[in-house]
Amino acid sequence: MDDWPPVVALPNAMLPNIKQQSKQQHQAPACKGNILVLSIHLCPSIFQSNGEEADVVNGFSDDWEFEETKVMHAQEELRTIRAKIAVLEGKVALEIIEKNKIIEEKQTRLDEVEKALSELRTVSVVWPNPASEVLLTGSFDGWTSQRRMEQSESGIFSYNLRLYPGRYEIKFIVDGVWKNDPLRPTVNNHGNENNLMIVT
């Protein structure tokens, strides 16, 4: 095997000249795909002593290194892009978690509000005695307002409240005078007698 001549791979662009020279020397070049494999000693006229053989080999080596460098750069760019994508995916995942947390909190508050509203009761307060004007006040709003009661055609004054179950104190202002409804139970609160209203 040590006596075999050196071999060089050449592109097909050089085939016509090489084939012509090979015919003149009665030697057939061997082709593999797009590459011509030729024993240098069979075609001595192709490579002269001026270093053409070394130039061709070095040229192939430089081209290979250039392409290899391009591949390495492309791989590095791909790794960079993948790293950026991973960072973006992480940020998106965190944002989704935060948004879901906010949605859950809002849903919890909404459920609490719906539950509270479902517990409200409509209570009709009536003043059955004759009067020109009747106002209603009580602990249902901390005694902060005096609500005008509506008079029906039959002369009965009434007012509807939306209250949670519990105990409330109320009082009526009838034609400017504070009064209790004699038909309702009363409670003494620090010397003040008020009507007691229980909402169930």
3-state secondary structure of 179: strand
Q: Using 50, 70 and 90 to split pLDDT, how confident is the model at 34?
A: very low
Evaluate if residue 53 carries a pLDDT over 70: no
As a CATH number, domain 120-199 is 2.60.40.10
**Which residue has better confidence, 56 or 160?**
160
**Across residues 25-48, what is the average pLDDT?**
46
Give residue 102's identity as a one-letter amino acid code: I
Radius of gyration in angstroms for the set of CA atoms belonging to the chain, rounded to a whole number:
52
3-state secondary structure of 160: strand
- For the stretch 65-77, pLDDT in tens is 888 888 999 999 9
**Across residues 150-175, what is the average pLDDT?**
96
